[in-house]
Amino acid sequence: LEAKFDDSTIFKKIIDSFKDSVSQINFMCSESGIEAQAIDDSRVLLVSLSIPPSCFETYRCDRPTTVGVYLSSLSKLLKSASSSATLTLYVEDQPDELLLLFEESKASKSMEYKMKLVDITADMLEVDSDMKSDVSVEMSGVEFTKIVRDLTQLSDSFTVSVGKDGIVFSVDGETASGKVLLQPKEDLANPENNLSISMTKTIDLSFASKYLLDIIKASTLSNMISLKFSEETPALFEFKMEKGGGIGFYLAPKYDE
């Protein structure tokens, strides 16, 4: 594998977006890009990552390779990332290490890190990316992040309801409750403020607040978030990157009592 990002902060943002959700991951590298899937220790949140060749300045992968890493270690190396540096990832044919090369052409500076790979025996779950959903919402990632931060302070449980009035985020804590209603809107001057809802059925689902706080860490990857809900199935919270690919979080709901 030889894969070069023209801006090393892109890979840092990708890793930082899920390093607090899962501790280790297998990157599956092939000619169609880098893909990865990991499940958190409590088996409530599934992270699915896709970095297609379009995200790289140059991308080459001669044969499918699995690259297993501890995310805390990788994240430490990525503290060197800067937007003025490129980052090239190298993995040999019989991989036992990942080489990261940062290059700043202006500063005539390069940095090289090597990281030992780990053999991770992770089970892969079959996730249908075209999973049918009753409700699809596209909205501003900034707006979603603010709502999650504000409301999760009040309760461990966060409810999403979608009906004819729009989408309602609500919490009902021991000492306080809160509710935010958003209706579809189109802002032609600022399309990142658009909110669209397509719905075949109403939904009313609750999730544990702590996972939502992890999910919003990926909001640096995209201006928009796409939400997909169906009654009694995991919700999908997805951030799509400008150059293709992105990260999706499948979050199992709490049971309806």
Q: Which residues bind other proteins (CB under 8 A)?
A: 39, 42-46, 123-127, 156-157, 206, 208, 233-234, 250, 252-257
Q: Shortest Cβ distance from residue 158 to other proteins (Å)?
A: 11
Taking Cα atoms as reference points, which of 170, 204, 214 lies closest to residue 46?
214
Q: Shortest Cβ distance from residue 1 to other proteins (Å)?
A: 23
2 vs 231 by CB, closer to other proteins:
231
DSSP-assigned beta bridge partners for residue 179: 170
Taking Cα atoms as reference points, which of 203, 201, 213, 197 lies closest to residue 159?
203
5 vs 169 by CB, closer to other proteins:
169
127 vs 181 by CB, closer to other proteins:
127
Beta-carbon contacts of residue 76 (< 8 Å; ≥ 6 apart): none
Beta-carbon contacts of residue 144 (< 8 Å; ≥ 6 apart): 216, 219, 225, 227
Q: ∠119-235-204 over CA atoms, to 5°?
A: 155
123 vs 186 by CB, closer to other proteins:
123
42 vs 200 by CB, closer to other proteins:
42
47 vs 195 by CB, closer to other proteins:
47
Burial of 200 (0-12, 13-18, 19+ CB in 10 A): exposed
Q: In angstroms, how far is CA 27 from the centroid of its own chain?
A: 14
32 vs 42 by CB, closer to other proteins:
42
Q: ∠147-151-153 over CA atoms, to 5°?
A: 130
Q: Shortest Cβ distance from residue 212 to other proteins (Å)?
A: 13
Q: Shortest Cβ distance from residue 124 to other proteins (Å)?
A: 4
Q: Shortest Cβ distance from residue 213 to other proteins (Å)?
A: 15
Question: Distance (Å, rounded) from C-alpha 169 to C-alpha 162?
Answer: 9
Q: Shortest Cβ distance from residue 247 to other proteins (Å)?
A: 16
Q: Shortest Cβ distance from residue 227 to other proteins (Å)?
A: 17
Evaluate whether 251 touches 45 at the Cβ level (below 8 Å): yes
